Amino acid sequence: MSIDWLRGAVVYQIYPRSFRDSDGDGVGDLRGAIEKLDHIAALGCDAIWLSPFFTSPMKDYGYDVSDYRGVDPLFGLLADADTLIKRAHELGLKVIIDQVWSHSSDQHAWFVESRQSRDNPKADWYVWADAKPDGSPPNNWQAMFGGGAWTWDSRRRQYYLHNFLIEQPDLNVRNPAVQDALLEVARFWLDRGVDGFRLDVVNFFTHDAQLRDNPPITSLKRAPPRPHQFQRHLYDRTQPETLEFIARLRTLLDGYGAMAVGEIEDEEPLKVQRDYTDGDDRLHTAYSFFLLRTRAMTPSVVKDAMAQWEGARGWPSWSLSNHDVTRFPTRLAEDDPHRTKLMMALLLALRGTAFIYQGDELGLPHGEVSFERLCDPEAIAFWPSGIGRDGARTPMPWARDANMADFTRAPDAWLPLDPRHRALAVDAQTGVETSMLEFTRAAIAFRKSSAALREGEFVALDAPEPVLAFERRLGEERLLCLFNLGPEPVRRPAPEGFARFSVGDTELKTGGAALGGFSALFVAI
C-alpha cells in the first residue's frame, strides 16, 4: 500500500461544529459533513482532515477527549463516522482524523482512575509530581492558555501537568502502557478505514524526566501578552523520547498504508518540522505555525521557509488558515479579494502538501464575535488582546439568502454568523468566473496538472523585493513562478516560455514579464 498521494496533495480541513448542521440543533455534525463532501470533491481536493468529533465535555470544543473511540452525540453516531469514511472514499477523498494524544479530558476513564491513588493500575498514565517542600508546584512551567501548568489534586496529594486547560491533563506518553493504549486507538480507526491521522501538538507528547525549570527569555523588550511567552521551552516539549514513540506509530501506519501529519508548536518551528519528518521512522509530514502566524507575506518569509527544507528527506506541509488562527484573508490580505487570491495561489505553489481550511476557498474574512458570544476559553482568558479563535470557527455559509446561510435550520448557531459572510456563500460564488471559489477550483486544477508544482524541487531566484521569484522543477518540466507581493507594478526579466496561469494584471512579452500590483504569473520555460 502506498501514500504517494500525499506528495503535493491538497487537504481540506473540516471543523465539524461549524461546517454543516443536519439536525437543527445549531451545531454542525457528521451527517452535515457527509452532505457537503461533494463540495470538497468538486474543489479538486485530495483528502479531508476532520477536527475532533469524539466524545468530549467540550471544555476545549473537542480537543479534550473523554473517549477516543466514541463519537460525541453532538456529532452523531459511530455509524455516521463509518458512512462519512465510505462516502469520502467513493468521491476519491482520503480521510485524515485528529488524534489528541498529548492530553485527554479530565473526565476520561483513564484519568478518573489515575487520580484515585498513587498505586492503581493507571497511576502513572498521566504526569504527576510531588510539591516542592514549600507546597509550590514542581517547576515553573506555564500553560499555553494562561497560568501555571500544574494543578493540585487533593486525592493523590500531588500536582498533575496540563499544558493547556486545567481540564486537559497531560498523558504520560513516556509510559509504554500508555503508548500501547494509544496505538490501539490508532488501530481502531485504521480498521474502520481512515487513511491517516493529524497529531495535535505532536512535540508535546513527552516532557523532561527531571522536570527542570524552563529558562527565561532574556531578550524581552517588554512583557509579552502570555505568561508562557516569558520562557524558553526547553523542557516541557520537543523531547527526544517523542521520536521513539513516533517510530512505533510509524511501524503501525506502514502496515496499513496510512500516514500521519504532525502539528508543531515550537520556538524553532521549521527545524522541528524537519526533525520530525527526517526518516522512515518519523512522521510522513508535518506543519507548524510559521506561516499560520505570519502577519505579512514577504519574499524573505517564503524563501526562509523553503531554505530550511533544502536537502531534507522529509516532506513539509503548509497552511495559511486553520481553526486556531486569524483567517488569512484578514491576516495577510487586509480582506482584499484580489490579494486573497494571490495568497491562495502562493500556498498552492509551495513545495509540500497544502492544507485549506473550510471557508478559505470562499475568501471568508475573520469573523467578528462579540465578547458576549465568545466560546473559546483561550479567547475569553486573553480578551481583548487574544487571537480570537472563535472568529475562525463561525458557521460556514452555504446559501446567501437562506436562514443562517443554510448552515442550520435553527434560528441561531453555537457561534453567530458574520453578516459579511452571506455575500460570500457557496451558492453566491458558484459559476461566477471572478469569484474566489471558482479561482480556488482553477488554482487547484492547475496545481494538479503540473508534476513540478506537486512534487518538484523549489529553486529560489534572485529578485528585488517585493518580487518573489522561484522555479519548480521536475524532470524536463520547469515552471517559473513570479509573485509581485507589493502594490506597485513591476517588470521582471523572464526567459522564453508561455504563461500557464496568472493572478491579477500580468503580461508576458519577449524578454520580460509585467506584473501589476499584487499579481502572479506562472510561466512554463
Which are the contacts of 512, defined by CB distance < 8 A and separation ≥ 6?
491, 492, 493, 494
What is the distance between the alpha carbons of residues 368 and 421, in angstroms, rounded to a whole number? Answer: 10
Separation between Cα atoms, residue 113 and residue 116, nearest integer Å: 5
Q: Which residues contact 218 (CB under 8 A, 6 or more apart)?
A: none
| Cβ neighbours around 388 below 10 Å, total | 21
Dihedrals φ, ψ of 72, to 5°?
Answer: -65, 140
Q: Verify cis geometry, omega within 30 degrees of 0, for the bond prior to 384.
A: yes
Exposed e or buried b for every residue in 427-460, given b needs 16+ CB within 10 A?
ebbeeeeebbbebbbebbebbbebebbbbbebbb
Q: Known catalytic residue: 67?
A: no
Q: Which of 46, 64, 200, 390 is catalytic?
A: 200
Ramachandran class of 474: left when φ > 0, alpha when ψ lies in -120 to 50, beta otherwise: beta
**Cell numbers linked to 450:** 503540473
200 labelled catalytic: yes
Residue 472 cell numbers, joined: 519548480
How crowded is residue 113: how many other Cβ atoms within 10 Å of its Cβ? 15
Going by the DSSP 8-state scheme, the letter that residue 400 receives in this structure is T
- Name, in order, each residue with C-beta under 8 angstroms of 125's C-beta and a sequence gap of 6 or more: 110, 111, 113, 114, 171, 172, 175, 177, 178, 181
Coil, strand or helix at 48: strand
User: Cell 529553486 belongs to which residue?
Assistant: 459
- Single out the catalytic residue among 265, 376, 390, 406: 265
Residues identified as active-site: 200, 265
